[in-house]
Structure 1
Amino acid sequence: MKATRQLHELGQSLWLDNITRTLLDDGTLARYIAEDSITGLTSNPSIFDAAIGDGDAYDAGVHAKTLAGLSGEALFIELALEDLRRAADLFKPVFDATRQIDGWVSMEVSPLLAADTAGSIAAARHIHHKAQRDNLFVKIPGTPEGVPAIEEAIFLGIPINVTLLFSCAHYQAVAEAYMRGIERRLAAGLDPKVGSVASLFISRWDVASNPQLPAELHNKLGIAVGQQTYRAYRALLASPRWQKLAAAGAQPQRLLWASTGTKDPSAPDTLYISAFAAPDTIDTMPEKTLFAFADHGQLHGVMATDGGDADAVLAQIAKAGVDIDALARKLQQDGAEAFVKSWNQLLQRIAGKAAALADKSKGPALR
């Protein structure tokens, strides 16, 4: 059995961390669904920046929307949602078969809103309304200002993918926000079934900490943080508070492993995929990592629900001089800033394309 199928049979969802119009047009995404057990996908500003910048697949769309009077963020949202609606439709059979647990796609609010609670809520409402797809998550970062926006969005019935989580504490804060949103819906007589995932970023921990650590501790921090968070996730699902919500019809906010491509060339290219084999979770991976795991990936058992050796590893890493709490804050801040940079590049790229296409359409005689 293919390694990707083994993960699927284990109860883990495999999502693609990429979307391009070419993937949709040439049938590649449909093939990943059929052959590699891919049951959803995630996107972010960096992914769309690369997609729109590579080749001419988006040129016609950019030009048509420019002629219709759109520009900047409004043009991008329309462009992105065209792709994501198509992807959502491909995953709709999975969404229906799993009773809305799986089969999702994701669209991020502007990263410029990471510190703007009210702005994030308004943007989430706008994207949710424009998307017109039940299986589309709106992504909101789990920053301190994002947490109340997440609670309010869940209360409003907007499915949310919480992004940019780096620590167990980050996860627990957004899990609380999710449950508060569901509890408020129940109190208001509303349907408690609102989809959500909490995305914990893994590999960036090791990129940041490896230079400070002895070789024997390289590429261990991300896995240890994930183990610690998985333990908290399992404890929450077993808690009386959650059990009460589940009995009322709520569905779990699933834990999603993000940033699972190996960044260290000396480490196995399937390192994080094997380490995070865990039921009732999602692993979203770039194509390169998907190919690697499908080709030669191996499972080495299931992630321990009690955290395994996470506490011992984290203690060793702290003893070696890494301030794990401070690094979690820095990683979240750096991640938010990186998405802002990609967002600005993306809008500049779209504006440049729009201008070039408008100039080209005038023809040489009119220039």
Structure 2
Amino acid sequence: MKVTQQLHDLGQSLWLDNITRELLTGGTLERYIHELGVTGLTSNPTIFDKAVQHSDAYDDSIHDKARGGKSGEALFFELALEDLVQAADLFRPVHAATGGVDGWVSLEVSPSLADDAADTVEAAVELHARAQRPNLFIKIPGTPAGLVAVEEAIFAGVPVNVTLLFSREHYLAAAEAYMRGIERRLAAGLDPAVGCVASLFISRWDVAVQDQVPDALRNRLGIAIALRTYQAYRELLATTRWQTLAEAGAQPQRLLWASTGTKDPAASDTLYLEALAAPDTINTIPEKTLLAFADHGKIRGELPADGGDADALLAEFAQAGVDIDALAGRLQEEGVDAFARSWRDLLNRVAAKAKALTKTGQT
């Protein structure tokens, strides 16, 4: 049995953390769906920036849209929606077969809106309506303003991928925003079945402390954070509050492991996939990690629902001088800043291509 199928049988979804036009038009994504059990896809500004930078597959669309008067964010979102609508259609059979639990793709709102809840909600509603696909998540960061927007977007019926979460506390705040949105929908007589996932970033923890901790603790902090968060996730699903919502027709806000490509060249290239196997979760991974796992990955058991040795591990990190709460806040701020930089780079790249293509008259 394929190792990717073993993960599926365990109850974990495997999503691809990448999108390019070549993946779609060349049949590669469709092959990953059928051969490797990929059941969803995530994107972000950095991914799109690399896609446009390293390919001429977008040139015709950029040229046509620029000639039609499109520029800036408006031009980019048209490009992105062309890709993500096509990807969403590839995953529609999975979405239908799982009753909306799986088969999702994700599009991020402009990172420039990270501190503006009202504009984030407006953008989320508009982007989801333009896509006209039920299996499109709108990614909203789990910042203080973002969480306000998450609740409002869920209440408005927009499926949300809450991104840039870095701790158990971040996850619980995202879960609270989701449940409040669902509770408000029920109170208003609306359908409570609005999709949502909570994306916890893993590898950035280990990168942040790699020069601060002894070798025995290298590449273990992200997994410890995941363990503690998974325990909170299982406990929340068992609460009376959640069970009441589930009985009314709400879907679980599944926990998603993000940033699970190995950054340390001395570590296994399938480290986080093998360590984070768990029922009712998602792992979204870069393409090279997917292929490595399909080639030589192994399932080494599943995460313990009680958190396992997370507390003991985190105590060791504290003794090494790592302030978990402070670092979680810093990592989230750095994540927002990194996506904002990628966003500016992306818009500048698209603008430069549009200018060059218009000047040369390429068709």
Q: For this structure pair, what is the TM-score category when the shorter chain's length is used for normalisation?
A: over 0.9
> Which residue of 2 is the match for residue 185 of structure 1?
185
Whole-angstrom distance in 1 between the partners of 2:341 and 2:315: 34
Identity %: 67
Q: Tell me which residue corresponds to 2:55.
A: 55
Letter in 1 for 2:68: A
**What does residue 82 of structure 2 align with?**
82
The separation in 2 between residues aligned to 1:46 and 1:97, in whole angstroms, is 31
Alignment of 1:93-104 (within 5 A): 93-104=93-104
Shift of 1:235: 0.3
Q: Which residue of 2 aligns with 1:331?
A: 331
For residues 209 and 118 of structure 2, the distance between their equivalents in structure 1, rounded to whole angstroms, comes to 34
TM-fit CA distance, 1:299: 0.8
Q: Please state whether the residue corresponding to 1:284 is helix, strand or coil.
A: strand
| Secondary structure of the corresponding residue to residue 14 of structure 1 | strand
Q: Does the alignment pair 1:146 with 2:146?
A: yes
Q: How big is the alpha-carbon RMSD for the aligned residues of Structure 1 and Structure 2?
A: 0.8
Note the alpha carbon deviations across 1:251-297, whole angstroms, 9 max, x for none. Answer: 00000000000000111111100111001000000001001100000
CA distance in 2, matches of 1:356, 1:290: 35
Is residue 210 from structure 1 mapped to residue 210 from structure 2 by the alignment?
yes
Aligned to 2:298: 298
> Helix, strand or coil: the match of 1:145?
helix
Counterpart of 1:37, as a letter, is G
SS at 1:16 equivalent: strand
Q: 1:195-246: per-residue Cα shift (whole Å, max 9, x none)?
A: 0000000000000011100000111110000000000000000000000000
4+ residue segments displaced more than 4 Å: none
Aligned-partner Cα distance in 1 for 2:167–2:55 = 37
What is the alpha-carbon distance in structure 1 between the residues aligned to residue 125 and residue 148 of structure 2? Answer: 14
Residue pairs, 1:1-367, within 5 angstroms: 1-361=1-361
Sort the Cα spacing of 1:251 and 1:210 in 2 relative to 1 into closer, same or farther, 3 A.
same
In 2: Cα distance, 1:37 partner to 1:127 partner: 28
**In 2: Cα distance, 1:340 partner to 1:351 partner:** 16
Q: SS state of the match for residue 95, structure 1? A: helix
In the TM superposition, residue 55 of structure 1 has moved relative to its aligned partner by 2.1
| Distance of 1:172 and 1:41 partners within structure 2 | 24
- How far apart are 1:362 and its partner, in Å? 7.8
**Secondary structure class of the residue paired with 2:361:** helix
How far apart in 1 are the matches of 2:312 and 2:39?
35
Distance of 1:314 and 1:237 partners within structure 2: 24
SS in structure 2 at match of 1:263: coil
Give 1:5 shift: 1.0
d(CA) in 2 for partners of 1:349 and 1:163? 24
Unaligned 5+ segments in structure 1 are none
> What's the offset of the Cα at 1:63?
0.5
Give yes or no for contact 2:63–2:362 (8 Å, CA) kept in 1: no
**In structure 2, distance between residues paired with 1:220 and 1:54:** 33
Q: Deviations over 1:157-195 (max 9, x none)?
A: 000000000000000001000000000000000000000
In structure 2, C-alpha distance between the alignment counterparts of 1:315 and 1:33, rounded to whole Å: 41
Aligned residue identity for 1:353: K
What amino acid maps onto 1:162 in structure 2? V
Structure 1 CA distance for aligned equivalents of residues 119 and 318 of structure 2? 37
Q: CA–CA distance in 1 between the matches of 2:288 and 2:272?
A: 13
Structure 1 position 126, deviation (Å): 1.1
**TM-score, structure 2 as length reference:** 0.99
